[in-house]
Amino acid sequence: MTQALPGHSAPAVGFEVPLEMLAACHGRVQHQCETLLRLLDHLKSHGADRSAQEAAQAVMRYFDTAARHHHEDEELDLFPALLESMGGSDAVCLRELTESLRGDHRLLERRWASLRERLMQVTEGSAAALEDDDVKGFVQLYEQHIAREEAELLPMAARLLSAVELDRIGLAMRSRRGITALSLHHS
């Protein structure tokens, strides 16, 4: 049995398979983005009622913690491991990819900071706080970013990284989340 991310009910993917865990996180990001889009419609028809406030709080919790950890997993562990795996090879393409994805992370973080302020207003009862363009722009940027990571980054990592390096990345991911013991039951 693998351990799921704390506080998430998505199918369990453990830290012993870090690339699969990063991909599973993409699914959770997409789910939160869908919640944001539904929240836009909900606010228009129901205002900032209790359901809207709870949805805004849940999205904020996710992007304040799990999404931030996901970016750190990539930038602090996966990207350096990939670059190191290239050794003496020409890693220009890989450097361009990781720098571009880092740039996406910074842009997503700036967009999130602005969107978070508006979501905080929703949690306080303001239905007018959330703008269609802000939400849709954030969601579109994340969709493009995830598509690139899944088409380029994760397949490249699967080809280039050794089992030892993947284990090291998985341990770093666990540590980042404050998980000190991995619960595995062998059948």
Question: 3-state secondary structure string, 51-119?
Answer: HHHHHHHHHHHHHHCHHHHHHHHHHHHHHHHHHHHCCCCCCHHHHHHHHHHHHHHHHHHHHHHHHHHHH
Domain residue limits, the chain = 18-176
Give, for 41, the enclosing helix (H) or strand (E). helix 18-46
Nearest CA-CA partner of 79 in 23, 27, 149: 149
Q: Which residue has the tokens 């909900």?
A: 42
Q: What is the rounded average pLDDT for all residues in the chain?
A: 87
Lowest mean pLDDT among 9-13, 114-118, 142-146, 148-152: 9-13
Determine the angle formed by the axes of helices 18-46 and 163-176, rounding to 10 degrees.
Answer: 40
pLDDT at 107 over 70: yes
Question: Is the domain covering 18-176 a CATH 1.20.120.520 domain?
Answer: yes
Lowest mean pLDDT among 8-12, 16-20, 79-83, 122-126: 8-12
* Structure confidence at residue 88 (pLDDT): 61
* φ, ψ at 158 (rounded to 5°): -65, -35
pLDDT band for 181, please (50, 70, 90 cuts): low
Give, for 21, the enclosing helix (H) or strand (E). helix 18-46
pLDDT at 1 over 50: no
User: ∠76-113-82 over CA atoms, to 5°?
Assistant: 20
Lowest mean pLDDT among 48-62, 73-87, 99-113, 145-159: 73-87
